[in-house]
Structure 1
């Protein structure tokens, strides 16, 4: 079992000292009436109390996100048990309950939605969290209500909508490595009770924490990103709520942080040797129109979405500064998506509550990859792939309540997709074209029983799938150009309870997930090329526990623990031997799935006094995980500690903070590079900084 590190005791001692001193100096007139904040979620596409939803869901309010200094989805995943992210500059694969995607995939098995609009490619899924209302992390297949590519779960982000309350603030932040972050937001009524407007902006720039030993450049991994959002909301009557939201983003980064972590050219953490100016640029915009009608008999919701994003990258493929062995790859993505969803739901709480809807989308994606051997003046390959996907779905879910305490839920989705894929690689002399069609039925069942008004037990079964697609990168032939979908069935038993008059929330879930037709990469002997197949079966099983409590006014303790065992049950892959001279069959039965740590945990202690003092400490832990199916590339278990001390008044806040206080060294990405080496991407070292916020 896990070893308790001395840092655990240090952070608890520091927290206790901070909290005790803050409490001693607080206002003696504080009321003893206190409880945890009440949050409404839309995990099941209707507003509910999360303690009444028969789904394992973690909810992060805007206050909780700000208090924990959660800036993006990567940060968010570390505060949710059994959630992890395979993260480097371009890949942001969300791994929930140990279910990853294959190497060189484009879609994550977990969905990311912002205001009910899907962000389909995992390259998009480390979005910045600014001026949002809340974030929801749903665990287990969500195919019935969300459809494709939600076989392990969903992260829902709900942005803040303007209302009658006037809000405005500006902030500035400075930290290690010349990191500067600033932003502003303003919202309020143009016409009271009828027309509202809001706008938010964020800018972040950093020199990065990597140095290129080849030329002494300590900004080889610098970054610069701008995000902005506007929202216009109109409520022409009591029953109507219409909002239009638009987002834009731009990122201009250098990506020199990849390094060899083993082999003859291995380097120390945060040090690389490169002879290329690696970069990563990203542009994107999205628009969402929501029309909501709440009548006495039923509710209607229309969600229209448009999304456009581009990515341009140049990478040093050889990861070294040998002039006789210079290799680079350039990678460009163009993604455009349009979607429309209509939902109708019951208006009244009663014995039978229902929801039904229809969904449609169009998606156009272009991948342009070029691999150059610069030292020899040749191009190794240059695949250009175009993929068009059209789809529609019908879905419904209903809950019938017996004896006021027994809740029976059933749901079903019919999901249809048509895919057109075309690839041309003039260097390899290959042209592949294939049309695919998928029809899937995605059911869900649950039984929940209220032992009391604050104690619920539930069990559920649900199906999800990760859609099939095209092997566009690994030198495909007509025979190896496409692959099929993979499927999960999740079985879950859970308990949700609220105790001590709202001062304690504790949730426990136990799950088993069966994974069939797992998408994996292997070598195809018939065509002498790499391919993607559905050759594996696997399982994931485990438990997760979350607790939040406010034992005294202002003191909040949040803890979570997740254990997952995710392994292959059956997988025999054809691969080259160590000397690359012959093909052999490797048996990966009982190997861990990549990027699936066995345990993750978080412990946060925070005190907010009546006189304005805030003190917070977070301990975040991740177990060992592997970066490949053979379990050869490995990241050891690690823990990081974050501290935050602030002074808050009505018009301004000031915070001092430290992230990764004990300067723990760890990797957020690790993978085989060649037969002698492995490549990795370092997580951030110790970072110190200060933040000032002014509200007007």
Structure 2
């Protein structure tokens, strides 16, 4: 299958390239009109590169686009990225790229999230506020030879602006549905011209949320209050030395009463839960980063020293009813230190990158299930430590003025130790396991320039997701751990620019093998008895298409489509104590279709309007593919008026109040519970800038 894919990809790529070229060079092609789309430059490859020169499927959205389309969080951004979705759940968040999802309750994601070169690996850190962002770069496919921490399905690279000699300030205040109020402000500029610069950004939000408790009558059981602050000092004592220190913090206090029964005696209507517990969570995250850059004659050295501490606690109604059967409690503390050294350079026809990464992570997780049945009640106190060291690098060689080849390699090693004290029925059992793994991950790519406006590429890349610990449901020493998961990605694509750069269109096709897939399986032992194993082998194959067009000077049209068909090749699981063959099923948490299309128009008198539609296809939430969410579309509108320093706009999201589920799960009686997605919301925003 892999060989056939590569053989077929070449003629397919040539066909796609040649098809749109004919009208562009025909005599009837439009003349230059003096306006065009901006050229996109990215730093996802650790050097400034035009996006069409990157041999990978890349989506880039700049800060203006994010602000114009009310993208306030990392979750909001996914509606504009093909084959990227956000697994939003009270059991943990995760980005899902090309159908490669995670175990439910997993604490890490195969999709890497980086904010200014610092990794945010913990699932509870994946939903981050967005404001004053320079751009977001999404690379799909394994990225093992460019980033310090390995990413097996792709990378989201968030680039923040650096303060310089130009003073800049702006902010907004916003009010919306469900008594939601938010605001943000940023300022940056020189303290000492050409030498010392500052930047500070703050965002905040207060919302009662869209869920109501049918038991208590409260309409704020999914409320949220958050505050995020980031400060940076930048020092440039010479032309070659650039030093910056940043400090950032996030404080979130929020209700998590989203899960409700869809059927059975405790069933409720949409956006209505039945619970007799508080159902709350609190997240505190504090990070510090020291970044040092030094430019030599033909190369640049970058050092990134980072520390992050995260505290997460929650209480949740176990039975999701007004009956007092039980509740769960969780207290998680994570501390991460990392050091990355990266050297990049270019000599003649060669460009190269070499890097060293070292990370130390300590994670303590206390979890308790309190139940009226003493046999079910248990507490788990887990301590785990992870040490990770990696060498990575790649080299690109321009074989001719049209053909460039890239080869890279990553040597990755990690050691971990974990122990858990499980107390139930008055007895304490201790699990204790050490894990160690060393992996060699290659990558290779070819990119060929067919014309000044047409490039095609072929890429092979590999990745892995390290093994870990079962913090919530281990029943023995053997079920306390699980092993790594591996991906091999084969990809072909074409990137084009037509009509004097008023039309940009990209296409990629891919096939990804997933070996030793990490899955959750039932084991004997009663309610909540699960194990995480590497029982599955699967693959995902699909296509991604994106375009941007500027048919008129004040109008831009954009869109994208991603199709990722996942299939289980081998997986014999268990259900109700019986063996079940899941082969041929689709992987859970993986929508098969993601698509978007939008348009914006700016009148010369200051008025403007924007509209976009995003689609999510069918997805399943269980291995048996019995819990299904049909596809749905969300329509978003915005209209506003802009002046020299002010901007006011009225917007709505999910215009037609589409009902959909973020998650579905069956209880021990086979009754389905779900978590509702966001309903129709409207708001008014006032922006200012200096």
TM-score by length of 2: 0.93
1:399 aligns with 2:399: no
Q: Secondary structure at the match of 2:77?
A: helix
| C-alpha separation in 2, matches of 1:343 and 1:475 | 39
Q: How does 1:541-552 map to 2 (within 5 A)?
A: 541-552=541-552
Deviation at 1:412, TM superposition (A): 0.1
Given candidates 636, 643, 646, the residue that maps to 1:642 is 636
Which deviates further from its counterpart, 49-58 or 289-298? Answer: 289-298
Aligned to 1:328: 327
2:423 aligned with 1:426: yes
1:598 paired residue among 580, 592, 595: 592
The superposition leaves residues 27-82 of structure 1 with CA deviations (integer Å, 9 ceiling, x where unpaired) of xxxx9421222332122222211111001111111011111111111111111011
For residue 369 of structure 1, the aligned residue among 353, 356, 367 is 367
Contact between 1:297 and 1:346, CA under 8 Å: does it hold in 2? yes
Aligned residues: CA RMSD: 1.7
Aligned partner of 2:561 in structure 1 is 561
Cα offset for 1:157?
1.1
Which residue of structure 2 aligns with residue 215 of structure 1? 216
Deviations 1:541-596 (A, max 9, x none): 000000001111120001000111011111001232xxxxxx21001001110111
CA distance in 2, matches of 1:63, 1:32: 24
Would the aligned equivalents of 1:612 and 1:649 in 2 still touch at CA under 8 Å?
A: yes
Number of the residue aligned with 2:262: 261
Aligned position for 1:356? 354
Aligned-partner Cα distance in 1 for 2:349–2:217:
69
Q: What is the CA–CA distance in structure 2 between the aligned matches of 1:690 and 1:525, rounded to whole Å?
A: 53
Structure 1 position 248 matched with structure 2 position 242: no
The verdict on how the C-alpha distance between 1:149 and 1:472 changes in structure 2, with shifts beyond 3 A counting, is: farther
Correspondence 1:488 to 2:482: no
The total of aligned residue pairs comes to 656
- Residues 147 and 413 in structure 1, CA contact (< 8 A), matched pair in contact too: no
SS at match of 2:505: strand
1:378 Cα deviation after fit: 7.8
Residue matched to 2:445: 446
Q: Give the drift of 1:680.
A: 1.4
Q: Would you say the 8 A contact 2:88–2:662 is kept in 1? A: yes
Distance across 2 between alignment mates of 1:518 and 1:92: 19
Work out the CA distance in 2 between the residues paired with 1:340 and 1:422.
26
Q: Given the alignment, which residue of 669, 680, 684 partners 1:675?
A: 669
- Alpha-carbon distance in 1 for matches of 2:150, 2:569: 22
Cα distance, 1:147 vs structure 2: 5.9
Q: Secondary structure at the match of 1:426?
A: strand
Give the aligned partner of residue 4 of structure 2: none
Q: Does 1:78 align with 2:79?
A: yes
Contact in 2 for aligned 1:113/1:154 (Cα 8 Å): yes
Seen in structure 2, the aligned counterparts of structure 1 residues 275 and 189 have a Cα distance that, compared at 3 Å, is same
Matches within 5 A, 1:516-555: 516-524=515-523, 530-555=530-555
* Counterpart secondary structure, 2:142: coil
- Range 278-287 or range 606-615, more displaced: 606-615
How far apart are the structure 2 equivalents of 1:126 and 1:655?
Answer: 25
CA contact (8 A) 1:525 1:574 kept: no
> Could you report, residue by residue, the CA deviation over 1:134-174 in whole angstroms, capped at 9, with x for unpaired residues?
11111011122236551111111112221122111231100
Q: Find the counterpart in structure 2 of residue 468 from structure 1.
A: 467
Q: How does 1:602-681 map to 2 (within 5 A)?
A: 602-681=596-675
C-alpha distance in 1 between matches for 2:669 and 2:494? 47
Distance, in Å, in 2 between the alignment partners of 1:274 and 1:336 is 33
Helix, strand or coil at the partner of 2:80: coil
Structure 2 match to 1:412: 409
The answer as to whether partners of 1:242 and 1:291 remain within 8 angstroms in 2 is: yes
Q: Which residue of 2 aligns with 1:158?
A: 159
Query: Residues 91 and 105 of structure 2 are in contact (CA less than 8 Å); yes or no, is this contact kept in structure 1?
Result: no
Counterpart position of 2:575:
575
Provide the secondary structure at the position in 2 that maps to 1:143. coil
- Aligned match of 1:95: 96
SS in 2 for 1:51: helix
Q: Retained in 2: the 8 A contact 1:224–1:252? A: yes
SS at match of 1:302: strand
- Equivalent residue, structure 2, for 1:457: 456
Does the aligned pair in 2 maintain the 1:540–1:565 contact within 8 Å? Answer: yes
What is the Cα deviation at residue 295 of structure 1?
2.1
Question: Equivalents in 1 of 2:511, 2:148: separation in Å?
Answer: 20
Q: Secondary structure at the match of 2:583?
A: coil
Q: Which residue of 2 aligns with 1:9?
A: none
Measure the CA separation in 1 of the matches of 2:188 and 2:172: 16
Partner of 1:279: 280
Further displaced range: 527-536 or 505-514: 527-536
| Number of the residue aligned with 2:19 | none
Equivalent in the alignment of 1:579: none
Aligned-partner SS, 2:294: strand
Shift of the 101–354 alpha-carbon distance from structure 1 to 2, 3 Å rule, reads same
Deviation at 1:293, TM superposition (A): 1.5
TM-score by length of 1: 0.92
Which residue in 1 is equivalent to 2:145?
A: 144
The residue aligned with 1:58 is: 59
Alignment CA distance shift 1:149-1:279 (3 Å): farther
Shift of the 524–210 alpha-carbon distance from structure 1 to 2, 3 Å rule, reads closer
* Residue 347 (structure 1) shift: 4.2
Q: C-alpha displacement at 1:414, in angstroms?
A: 0.3
Aligned residue for 1:165, secondary structure, equals: coil
Asked if 1:133 corresponds to 2:134, the answer is: yes
Say which SS state the counterpart of residue 478 (structure 2) adopts: coil
Q: Which residue of 2 aligns with 1:115?
A: 116
2: distance between equivalents of 1:524 and 1:183? Answer: 48
Contact 1:407/1:447, CA 8 A, preserved across alignment: yes
Q: Distance in 2 between matches of 1:617 and 1:501?
A: 25
Distance 1:306 1:476, change over 3 A: same
Cα pair 2:129 2:203 within 8 Å, conserved = no
Which sections of structure 1, spanning at least 5 residues, go unmatched?
A: 1-30, 577-582
Matches within 5 A, 1:301-320: 301-320=302-321
Are the counterparts in 2 of residues 300 and 342 from structure 1 also a CA contact under 8 Å? yes
* 1:489-509 per-position Cα deviation (integer Å, ceiling 9, x unaligned): 000000011122221110000
**CA distance in structure 2 between the partners assigned to 1:170 and 1:109 by the alignment:** 34
- CA 1:202 to 1:511, structure 2 compared with 1: closer, same or farther past 3 Å? same
CA deviation after TM superposition for structure 1 residue 343, in Å: 0.8
Following the alignment from structure 1 to structure 2, what is the Cα–Cα distance between the partners of residues 436 and 170? 48
